[in-house]
Amino acid sequence: MKKSYKIEVKQGKRFQFGENWRHFLLVLNDKHIAEAEKSLKQMLKLDTLQDKSFLDIGSGSGLFSLAAHRLGAKVYSFDYDHDSVACTQELKRRYFSMDDSDWIIDEGSVLDLDYLKSLGQFDIVYSWGVLHHTGDMWRSLENVSLTVANGGQLFIAIYNDQGGWSKRWKQIKKTYNTLPKFFRLPFAILVLFPREIKLMGVALLTLRINSYIQYWLQYHENRGMSRWHDLIDWIGGYPFEVAKPEEIFEFYRARGYTLERLKTCAGGLGCNQFLFSKQ
């Protein structure tokens, strides 16, 4: 593990995403994987990734690298977080041979331009909810653009800019990471409690409490993820930057990209998803 990473974590400047994903792998099952595959196929408008090269920037749990490989892609995964790299390796071990040369896993940084150039270019470059956590989002977005082959696709998700709310969330995330570890879970619950009580209250008033319960139980249908682990990722996810959809659109249009598909969070909390093609 890089010394700079350890220092950033110790100083409360970086959330340990990989540690959260290690816990997620304990509950990962075939339903999660199937939903991850489904979400890729829906956004890319492809039924198979056969004969496609797929770069997973910030592989996290490794779920989407796994999904892409199961769909036929030749995958290259990397992450800055050592534990995230280990999670991705664990999923490869579970579902494929570690000798499988069509799925390569590495530790690296999207801010390291020389490293990215050494990888070459790919048919599909995927980075969901990652680039806003690097500490230099716009440089990350620039670097990523160089890894897409001509005629290739770039699939990214970036936190929506909510103005004042985004500034408040940034402070919450910063506080979470500066707390001693044994205080972090109570802090997360304290932050999340009012929102969950509000959602539950609305469900009770509208006689839809079953919908609230099902939302938790069926959350894996949202890209195959876990509601609890996503919440911890949200509370702790730091560094933290945001952008308006039009800012991302203009940024990539100026670099020769065409927007194929856009899925927003309707101006609220969460990520806006973009699928660009490189002309």
* pLDDT tens figures, 170-216: 999 999 999 998 999 999 889 887 777 776 776 767 767 777 666 65
pTM exceeding 0.85: yes
Structure tokens given for 105: 């896993």
pLDDT for residue 224? 67
Residue type, 231: L
d(CA 251, CA 69) in angstroms, rounded, equals: 30
Q: Which ranges in the chain are annotated with CATH 3.40.50.150?
A: 3-161+240-278
Structure tokens given for 124: 């599909």
pLDDT for residue 216? 58
pLDDT along the chain (279 residues), means of 10: 76 88 92 94 96 97 97 98 96 96 97 97 97 97 97 97 94 94 90 76 71 64 72 89 97 97 89 95
pLDDT for residue 267? 80
pLDDT for residue 56? 98
Closest-CA residue to 213 (of 193, 235, 196): 196
d(CA 102, CA 118) in angstroms, rounded, equals: 17
Q: Look up the CATH number of domain 3-161+240-278.
A: 3.40.50.150
pLDDT for residue 7? 86
> To which residue do tokens 């490869």 refer?
92
pLDDT, tens digit, 9 for 90 and up, residues 54-89: 999 999 999 999 999 999 999 999 999 999 999 999
d(CA 219, CA 117) in angstroms, rounded, equals: 37
